Chains A and B, each alone.
Chain A
């Protein structure tokens, strides 16, 4: 499941959103997150969620199945967080709030329910933005942009990228470790001891990887670039569009 979600479709990468600087997309995602923080209303979240879905489908050519598949597991989380905010809203103890019902010691009030719904919508909106970002962004391009456009330290950025390449390997090893427990007659669940085996294998792999990188002169001098990342007109258009969406979201919450 994890490995499949890491794969990004070629046509999504070739789309306008796929060609947008990953750094800019990250900035847009954070800008929208900030725009959502201004109110608990459902409407700003609806604006952002709609913008993310439209951008993902039209500008990012993300398959609708991938989009729905990415957001679907998160409905339970949205409901859980919404419920917490509803049941424990500060407004519930305010005598002036309109009471909708009483569950045991808890008063359920109109502002409480509205606030809870708003936060649940916020979760869905943030998740939609996250899925579109993930489905149109290749991790190598993200790191190239971090180094070339944000001037992140090269050794750390590419060191992290090297470690990222181990994800499929780690996922496979996790399966092996779980099967090994099963062979020993233990239950198939998620025992914390699995972490020990996984970490030992990971640290050893990291050690060998670092040795191989050092042997090829990693970080020993100025680094030449194979893939140039430059700001483009697509970036400018996306930036302008995203500011409009953020403004709409803030206005919708008023």
Chain B
């Protein structure tokens, strides 16, 4: 796994975007935009299950962050994290989710934070630790954003619990899930011509 994930250089040559890279990164965002529609409703509907300890619901937060890690892992171009997450968020905003225009703001901070980590790694290494750090950075940005916008009155200790749950979720679902999905895509032969293929 490590050899395929961290292979330097690429079949797609350098850091310039081909049309393929653009459309595939965007469509990964769109797929998750569709998934978010289901997810947003489930998130609302399952809130009651977590009444005993609402911060635990954030253990599933990582789903919202997957495009910011999966798309760059597949196309490996500068800006892929931000682009895919914004496309996914934009779809949420156009369809009209409970987060409305705030979805775009969320997408911006979530994708932007992951993007910064890939930038620091200079778009060269795609090993698990980098993906994990990018996922956690994305979750951290989302945590700060949500605190300001959605949980302004929460006590500090509850916010820390929410942050911890989000970090665990980012590691397991966002980083782990992205690696598994990229592997399944490669095994299905869908990534031929991409660096991750």
Task: Give me the interface of A with B, judged by CB distance under 8 Å.
Answer: 1-2, 5-6, 26, 29-30, 32-33, 37, 40, 70, 73-74, 76-81, 83-85, 87-93, 112, 115-116, 118-119, 122-123, 126-131, 133-135, 137, 139, 142, 155-156, 159-160, 162-164, 166-167, 170-171, 174, 190, 192, 195-196, 198-200, 202-207, 209-211, 213-214, 218-219
Contact = CB atoms under 8 A, between A and B. Distances in A.
Choose among A29, A89, A160, A198 the residue with the greatest number of B CB atoms under 10 Å from its CB: A160
List of 8 A-B pairs having minimum Cβ-Cβ separation, nearest first: A130-B100, A80-B47, A29-B101, A134-B96, A163-B26, A115-B153, A159-B22, A77-B44
Interface string B63-85: 00000000000100000000100
A91 B154 CA distance: 8
B101 A126 contact: yes
Contacts of B94: 6, 133-134, 137, 139, 142, 164
22 contacts: A74-B97, A77-B98, A79-B47, A83-B47, A83-B54, A85-B151, A88-B155, A90-B156, A119-B152, A123-B150, A133-B100, A156-B17, A159-B19, A159-B22, A159-B23, A160-B26, A171-B34, A198-B31, A200-B190, A202-B30, A203-B74, A219-B19
Interface of B: 17-20, 22-24, 26-31, 33-35, 37-38, 40-45, 47-48, 51, 54, 74, 83, 87, 90-91, 93-105, 148-156, 158, 177, 181, 184-185, 188, 190-191, 193
A26 B53 CA distance: 35
A156 B22 contact: yes
Nearest to A118: B153
A99 to B, nearest CB: 16
Nearest to B159: A88
B149 A116 contact: no
Nearest to A85: B153
Contacts of A171: 34
Nearest to A4: B95
Contacts, number: 223
B153 A74 contact: no
Contacts of A199: 28, 31, 181, 184-185, 190
Given A77-B47, A88-B155, A200-B190, A134 B98 contact: no
A85 B152 contact: yes
A39 to B, nearest CB: 9
Given A30-B105, A127-B100, A164-B30, 15 more contacts: A29-B100, A83-B47, A85-B154, A88-B155, A91-B153, A119-B153, A127-B99, A155-B19, A155-B22, A164-B94, A200-B188, A205-B27, A207-B193, A210-B20, A213-B23
B101 A33 contact: yes
Contact of B96 (A130, A218, A219): A130
A129 B44 CA distance: 18
Contact of A166 (B27, B41, B74, B158): B27
Contacts of B99: 126-127, 130
Contacts of A131: 96, 100
Contacts of B181: 195-196, 199
